[in-house]
Amino acid sequence: MTYTLLHHTGCSTSRKGLALLQENGIEPEIRKYMNQSEALSVDELKDIAAKMGASSPREFLRDKDAQKFDIPPTLDDDALYAAMAENPKLIQRPIGINNGKAALGRPVEKLLDIT
CA dist 96 and 4 (Å) reads 6
From the candidates 4, 11, 39, 101, give the one annotated as an active-site residue. 11
3-state secondary structure of 6: strand
* Cβ-based neighbour number of residue 68 at 10 Å: 12
Say which residues have a Cβ less than 8 Å from residue 107's Cβ, sequence separation at least 6: none
> Looking at this protein, which amino acid is placed at residue 40?
L
- Known catalytic residue: 11? yes
Spatial CA neighbour of 88 closest among 62, 64, 115, 49: 62
List active site positions: 11
